[in-house]
């Protein structure tokens, strides 16, 4: 846990997100499709242009909706009534315009970074199976070109909490951008949060993630698989004990079983919300983080933050698509 200087300015934003700016291409298919096209069910796999074209051709009719993990989270924060900004890279093409529109439309300040020619806006081909599980195949496009120059430092400095997605932590320039954003945030007395994003993602960059968590991260989000992968242990109790030493605060979701809230002196548990019918789990973790951070930036008790997270996650898994369809503030009693 880093030590932050006190900020001299009141924050303009509750949360500033940084992530891969993606438009989701959502289609339904059965497990036969998953096997036939050798997809990794329930995970996120990076794909190249050729594979993206091949998969899209095989895909049934689809719906296009703005996505991107941290971007989904920022729309959730805004939907609760919070002030959110987002840094991520899109191209000046139709999907880039769609992505920017859908952030601004819900009141998220969008900082798209510098344009890059000839590389299209990234997209994520999501296959939803009848069990509501989503399998993601991401063509990163221009989103992966995020570099330190794309980090709007004034925006980062103006957010109470910086929220970054592990997905982004892949190319050297993006890692630099990541570290820069964290150092700007801390220099202004802000907090830095990270979501581990995906267990394969953790697997590829385990050492980097561990040093990030120890050196830079104040609040860690992840699910149980990701935490087990981070510490390469088989027992969640052991992983929780490890993260308690490394991190000021960690919030670990365990699907329908709720979450652990791991702080220096305490390990709390909080339940998930009941959902009548789970239709598409896309965005569950993103929206959980949104609710939690909305509460956290309002200094609510940690169990209430988790409750807000659970409410937001329940909303997003009850319909197709990674962002709320109702104003989340309307779900608060």
- Provide, rounded to whole angstroms, the least separation between the CB of residue 90 and a second copy: 12
CB within 8 Å of 216: residues ≥ 6 apart: 2, 179, 182, 186, 192, 194
- Please report whether residue 264 would count as binding a second copy according to CB under 8 A: no
Nearer to a second copy, 28 or 186 (CB): 28
The yes or no reply on residue 329 touching a second copy (CB under 8 A) is: no
User: Is residue 57 involved in binding a second copy (CB under 8 A)?
Assistant: yes
Interacting stretch for a second copy, rule CB under 8 A, among 51-59, 186-194, 249-257, 303-311? 51-59
**Rounded-to-integer distance, Cα 231 and Cα 73, Å:** 25
Q: Kindly tell me which of 62 and 132 has the beta carbon lying closer to a second copy.
A: 62
Q: Which of residues 102-121 bind a second copy (CB under 8 A)?
A: 102, 105-106, 120
The region of 44-52, 55-63, 174-182, 234-242 touching a second copy under the rule CB under 8 A is 55-63
Residue 330 token pair: 């309307």
Q: Which two tokens stand for residue 84?
A: 């959110």
Interacting residues with a second copy between 72 and 91 (CB under 8 A): 75
Place of tokens 């394969």: 200
Q: What is the spatial distance between Cα 7 and Cα 321, in angstroms, rounded to a whole number?
A: 37
102 contacts: CB under 8 Å, gap ≥ 6: 65, 66, 75, 323
Nearer to a second copy (CB atom), residue 70 or residue 158: 70
**Least distance CB 106 / a second copy (angstroms):** 5
CA distance 75 to 86: 9
| Interaction between residue 56 and a second copy (CB under 8 A) | yes
Stretch that binds a second copy, among 34-42, 61-69, 215-223, 262-270 (CB under 8 A): 61-69
Interaction between residue 321 and a second copy (CB under 8 A) = yes
Q: Where are the alpha helices (DSSP H) in the chain?
A: 31-36, 49-58, 69-80, 94-104, 153-157, 172-187, 199-204, 206-215, 224-231, 236-246, 284-296, 302-317
176 binds a second copy (CB under 8 A): no
Considering only residues 17 to 46 of the shown chain, the ones binding a second copy according to CB under 8 A are 27-28
* Min CB(183)–a second copy separation in Å: 32
Residue 100: DSSP 8-state: H
- Tell me which of 20, 66, 72, 229 binds a second copy, using CB under 8 A: 66
DSSP letters for 18-63: E---EEEEEEE--HHHHHHTT--TTSEEE--HHHHHHHHHHS-S-E
Q: Which of 35, 41, 101, 264 binds a second copy (CB under 8 A)?
A: 101
Largest CA distance in the chain: 57
Closer residue to a second copy (CB): 99 or 292: 99
Separation of alpha carbons 197 and 224, rounded Å: 11
- Name the residue nearer to a second copy (CB basis): 141 or 295: 141
Q: Which residues bind a second copy (CB under 8 A)?
A: 27-28, 56-57, 59-66, 75, 93-95, 98, 101-102, 105-106, 120, 321, 323, 325
């Amino acid at each position: 846990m880093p030590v932050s200087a006190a900020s001299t300015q009141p924050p303009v934003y509750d949360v500033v997100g940084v992530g891969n700016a993606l438009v989701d291409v959502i289609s339904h298919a059965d497990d036969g499709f998953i096997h036939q096209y050798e997809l990794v069910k329930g995970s996120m796999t990076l794909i190249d242009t050729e594979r993206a074209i091949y998969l899209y051709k095989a895909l049934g009719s689809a719906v296009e909706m703005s996505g991107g993990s941290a971007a989904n989270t920022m729309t959730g924060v805004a939907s609760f009534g919070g002030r959110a900004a987002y840094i991520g890279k899109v191209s000046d093409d139709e999907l880039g315009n769609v992505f920017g529109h859908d952030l601004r439309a819900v009141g998220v300040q969008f900082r798209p970074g510098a344009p890059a020619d000839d590389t299209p806006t990234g997209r994520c081909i999501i296959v939803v199976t009848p069990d509501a599980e989503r399998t993601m195949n991401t063509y990163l496009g221009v989103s992966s070109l995020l570099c330190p120059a794309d980090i709007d430092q004034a925006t980062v400095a103006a957010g109470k909490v910086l929220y970054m997605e592990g997905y982004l932590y892949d190319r050297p320039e993006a890692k630099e951008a990541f570290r820069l954003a964290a150092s700007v945030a801390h220099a202004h007395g802000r907090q830095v949060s990270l979501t581990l994003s995906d267990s394969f993602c953790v697997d590829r960059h385990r050492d980097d993630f561990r040093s990030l968590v120890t050196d830079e991260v104040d609040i860690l989000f992840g699910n149980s698989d990701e935490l087990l992968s981070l510490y390469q242990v088989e027992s969640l109790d052991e992983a929780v004990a490890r993260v308690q030493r490394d991190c000021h605060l960690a919030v670990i979701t365990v699907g329908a079983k709720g979450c652990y809230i791991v702080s220096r002196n305490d390990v709390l548990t909080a339940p998930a919300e009941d959902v009548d019918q789970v239709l598409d789990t896309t965005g569950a973790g993103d929206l959980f983080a949104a609710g939690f951070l909305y509460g956290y930036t309002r200094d609510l008790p940690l169990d209430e933050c988790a409750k807000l997270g659970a409410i937001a996650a329940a909303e997003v898994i009850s319909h197709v698509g990674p962002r709320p369809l109702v104003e989340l503030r309307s779900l608060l009693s």
